[in-house]
Structure 1
Amino acid sequence: MSDKIKLALSAELLPDDMKKIKEKYDVKILPWTGSDYLPTKEDIISECIDNEVVLIYTDPMPKECIDVLSKNGLKLLGCARATPNNIDWKAAKDNNIPIIHAPGRNAHTVAEYTVGMLLAICKRIGFSYHGLMDGRFLADEKDIYDVPERKDVIWRFKDRENPRSSYPWSIDVYDRTIGLVGLGAIGQNVALICKGMGMNVIAYDPYQSDEIFSKLDVKKAEDYREMLPECDFVSVHLNVTEDTRSMINDEWFDLMRIDAYFINTARAAVVDQKALIEALENKKIAFAAIDVMWDEPAPKNHPLLKMDNVLITPHMGGISSDVKKWASQMVTDELMRYANKEKNIRLWTRLE
């Protein structure tokens, strides 16, 4: 009989990490691993029961599952995400089941995506791409190799709509000011990238230490009411809590400049949906770039999808092959700590 710890696993680990894990664990790969299948409560219970450790990715782990599994040997839950929203945190605590996770696993990825969205709206990349693909800015079909000699090549029509006049002219980010709402791991990486592009960075985060502000050379805003009128761009980097839910409301958009750009790659719930829609419809702000919606997948009739001053992507900010690497390394480290009876350091402690 094996003395290895029984582990039910749906998080994808790197080969080297898996090899290390198997030295200490009897690993059961859950059947939906690596697929888009969303397991039911019955799936979770039947496949994970009698395992001391369960490490998942986006699989739902509600109270009903935790209650049953904890009575059948479960002692540790793990989630290969920064925020284990798919786990009922309170149920885990009530059953004395600690949760390990991968904080900051996507900090670089989301930061790069945020700046990418910023540049996309500043340079009208998404808008002009769609105009091109819709055929608005294309000439009639011809032999593509029959190219006339021209000294100056400009994408322009004499008697038709032209791309240069179809959208507001682009702007540079250099020497402009971005205000970060939240200066955690992602916000800090956004600050570093923006500073590297010659931008001025302000941040509002009453919970972050002065040391971090100083280290990053980021101006600290004591009050968001003072920060917002200074900003060309406002980028959100908040977790959803009772305090932050719908925190960004009419007041925020009223304080922003009419030429300001709003970027949200965090969570839609921190923004008042109606307030953002009205701010864009009424031109209180100029543009918005959004990677997260209040209900996902977003419904076809959502008004933001019809606006020409909004760039929307389907929650892709944290999707990167490198994120898997960081997450794999973090949760593997925690699993080895548990197996070696060492104290876990990446423990989820929030209950709301």
Structure 2
Amino acid sequence: MRYRCAVLDDYQRVAAEFADWSPVADSVAVTSFDRHMEDEDELARELAGFEIVVTLRERVAFPASLLARLPALKLLIASGMRNSVIDYAAAEAHGITVCGTPSASTPPVELTWALLLGLARGIVTEHEALRSGGPWQSTVGADLHGRRLGLLGLGRIGGRVAQVGLAFGMRVGAWSRNLTKERAREVGVELAASKEELLAESDFVSVHLALGERTRGLIGAAELALLKPTAFLVNTSRSAIVDQDALLAALHAGRIAGAGVDVFDVEPLPADHPMRSAPRLLATPHLGYVSRSNYATYYGAAVENIQAYLAGSPVRVLG
């Protein structure tokens, strides 16, 4: 039997380039989809007959209703080792094995700083003015040295963001519900007394928390109101941690200096989505994990997962 494998959301069509699929070439035929499919009917129709599906992060949800419509599906591989949009119980009930892959923390750290620096120095505004013959120097940059960087979350990614901030000479503080003095001391940052104190006293705030019931909507209108009018907010984690309507209102009203966002409630963003035209917003299309090293890790591990499954010993099983 030769299995059929669907690779979803391969926008750049590079899944074949970043991994060596030859170890499974005799057993698996790979089909890459370079367009996003959101509608369940379309997914059920397009994925019918595929025994293996490789999906990137949480771009495509696999609820019980969809899994029930994919009777051929036997192996679902999601990049990363955590996924909130797969119904694991339903997968198990339908005999579907769900596996994850490793991922690197470096790409999202780098993108966080790309957004923060872009905001601080008005890079996009000045670049567009220079290229279009516009005014020479229209912005005044915000300094980093001596300013306070507030981190919501000090895990693997947040800790590395903190190290870069310290290298810039920033005063770095952090807060999360479970953050300990020992962890803050280990990284070399201040432990904020509360979320409110961190927001009110920081010049730059960056979100590095996992999405869960306790973090969903953690930053809403009341929290955004605590920020200084000169402060910047960066979110490269999960969109639902920051209330999108409240953020849009704050940006339009000029209550904060700006925001850098890489994650959205709906992805890809519809052409008429208000986040596409919001003022004071530097936005990227969920590029945090889109890098050569991460893609090589994701797709390379996906091939390993397929090999292990075909050998009868699945690895990196989630659920």
TM category, shorter: 0.7 to 0.9
1:305–1:312 Cα contact (<8 Å) kept: no
Higher CA-based Rg: 1
1:56–1:78 Cα contact (<8 Å) kept: yes
Query: Structure 1 stretches (4+) deviating beyond 6 angstroms?
Result: none
Partner of 1:243: 214
d(CA) in 2 for partners of 1:94 and 1:188?
A: 39
> Is the alpha carbon distance of 1:323 and 1:251 closer, same or farther for their aligned partners in structure 2, counting shifts above 3 Å?
same
Partner of 1:200: 171
> Is the alpha carbon distance of 1:275 and 1:327 closer, same or farther for their aligned partners in structure 2, counting shifts above 3 Å?
same
> Is the alpha carbon distance of 1:65 and 1:285 closer, same or farther for their aligned partners in structure 2, counting shifts above 3 Å?
closer
1:268-288 per-position Cα deviation (integer Å, ceiling 9, x unaligned) = 222122322332334332221
Structure 1 counterpart of 2:101, which letter?
Answer: A
- Root-mean-square deviation (CA), in Å? 3.2
Instruction: Name the SS of the counterpart of 2:47 in structure 1.
Output: helix
Partner of 2:128: 130
Alpha-carbon deviation of 1:233?
A: 0.5
d(CA) in 1 for partners of 2:185 and 2:314?
A: 32
> Is the alpha carbon distance of 1:303 and 1:42 closer, same or farther for their aligned partners in structure 2, counting shifts above 3 Å?
closer
Partner of 2:12: none
Tell whether 2:5 aligns with 1:8.
Answer: yes
2:211–2:241 Cα contact (<8 Å) kept: yes
* Structure 1 stretches lacking a partner, 5+ long: 138-162
Partner of 1:220: 191
Residue 45 (structure 1) aligned to one of 28, 32, 48: 48
Aligned residues: 306
d(CA) in 2 for partners of 1:301 and 1:73?
A: 34
| TM-score, normalization by structure 1 | 0.73
d(CA) in 2 for partners of 1:248 and 1:37?
A: 29
Structure 2 counterpart of 1:315, which letter?
Answer: H
Structure 2 counterpart of 1:294, which letter?
Answer: D
d(CA) in 2 for partners of 1:210 and 1:26?
A: 52
The 5-angstrom pairing of residues 69-108 of structure 1 reads 69=70, 72=72, 74=74, 76-81=75-80, 83-84=82-83, 87-95=86-94, 97-103=96-102, 105=103, 107-108=105-106
2:48–2:72 Cα contact (<8 Å) kept: no
1:277–1:304 Cα contact (<8 Å) kept: no
Alpha-carbon deviation of 1:171?
A: 2.2
Partner of 1:348: 318
d(CA) in 2 for partners of 1:229 and 1:37?
A: 39
2:53–2:73 Cα contact (<8 Å) kept: no
1:63-83 per-position Cα deviation (integer Å, ceiling 9, x unaligned) = 3442254x5572x32113565
| TM-score, normalization by structure 2 | 0.80
Instruction: Name the SS of the counterpart of 1:170 in structure 2.
Output: coil
> Is the alpha carbon distance of 1:128 and 1:90 closer, same or farther for their aligned partners in structure 2, counting shifts above 3 Å?
farther
Partner of 1:117: 115
Residue 255 (structure 1) aligned to one of 221, 226, 231: 226
Identity %: 26
Structure 1 counterpart of 2:196, which letter?
Answer: R
d(CA) in 1 for partners of 2:93 and 2:3?
A: 22
Tell whether 2:25 aligns with 1:55.
Answer: no
Partner of 1:330: 301
Instruction: Name the SS of the counterpart of 1:258 in structure 2.
Output: coil
